[in-house]
């Protein structure tokens, strides 16, 4: 009698493992399980928050939200940003068509259309790729990209701003 009890216990254990394995495989293979959508939401939110900080004129805080500051001091950055009249647009015009082109643990490249206020063209925007870096537990835009969009560097400046027809 003891022998059949052991045999029945083993069978129950094997059945449990089989059911658990099938459940885990099914759970992991569900299309759209959320990891890509989750990454896009995190990156998009991070970029949106950075653009909000810029639009609100909080340049000291903006400096801290950016990656690869290099030789640019906080004071120099704040001065350049205050001189620029260009700011990200508000609301739905701030960011459109956000898409992750590639992403790994520390870097991501995104493609997005950013609406801009304060340019000579009333309906200005910039559509291009942006590199983001994961630092200090958050995704950060590049300082050079913000200076370029603001038109305060020689790396494109206002020349890259397009109206709706340029999109």
Question: Which structure tokens are listed for 91?
Answer: 């609301």
CATH number at residue 156: 3.10.450.100
Element (H, E) at 132: strand 125-135
More confident residue, 154 or 104: 104
My answer on whether 15 and 96 are in the same domain is no
Domain count across the chain: 2
Reply yes or no on whether the pLDDT at 165 is more than 60. Answer: no
Token pair 């995190």 in the structure block, residue: 42
The per-residue pLDDT for range 109-127, each reduced to its tens digit, is 999 999 999 988 777 999 9
- Listing DSSP states for 133-153 in one string gives EEETTEEEEEHHHHHHHHT-S
The per-residue pLDDT for range 9-32, each reduced to its tens digit, is 777 777 777 666 676 765 555 444
What rounded mean pLDDT belongs to the chain? 83
The per-residue pLDDT for range 123-160, each reduced to its tens digit, is 799 999 999 999 989 999 999 999 999 999 744 444 44
My answer on whether 72 and 25 are in the same domain is no
Q: Are 67 and 133 in contact (CB under 8 A)?
A: yes
My answer on whether 68 and 78 are in the same domain is yes
My answer on whether 8 and 54 are in the same domain is no
- Boundaries of domain holding 41: 31-166
d(CA 16, CA 18): 5
């Amino acid at each position: 009698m003891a022998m059949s009890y052991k045999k029945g216990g083993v069978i129950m254990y094997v059945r449990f493992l089989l059911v658990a394995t099938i459940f885990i495989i099914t759970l992991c293979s569900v299309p759209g399980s959320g990891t890509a959508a989750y990454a896009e939401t995190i990156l998009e939110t991070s970029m949106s928050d950075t653009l909000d900080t810029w639009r609100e004129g909080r340049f000291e805080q903006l400096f801290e939200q950016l990656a690869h500051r290099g030789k640019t001091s906080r004071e120099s950055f704040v001065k350049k940003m205050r001189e620029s009249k260009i700011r990200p647009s508000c609301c739905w015009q701030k960011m459109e068509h956000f898409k992750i082109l590639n992403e790994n643990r520390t870097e991501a490249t995104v493609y997005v259309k950013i609406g801009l206020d304060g340019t000579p063209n009333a309906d200005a925007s910039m559509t291009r790729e942006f590199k983001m870096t994961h630092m200090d537990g958050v995704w950060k835009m590049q300082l050079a990209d913000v200076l370029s969009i603001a038109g305060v560097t020689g790396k494109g400046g206002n020349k890259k701003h397009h109206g709706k027809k340029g999109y």
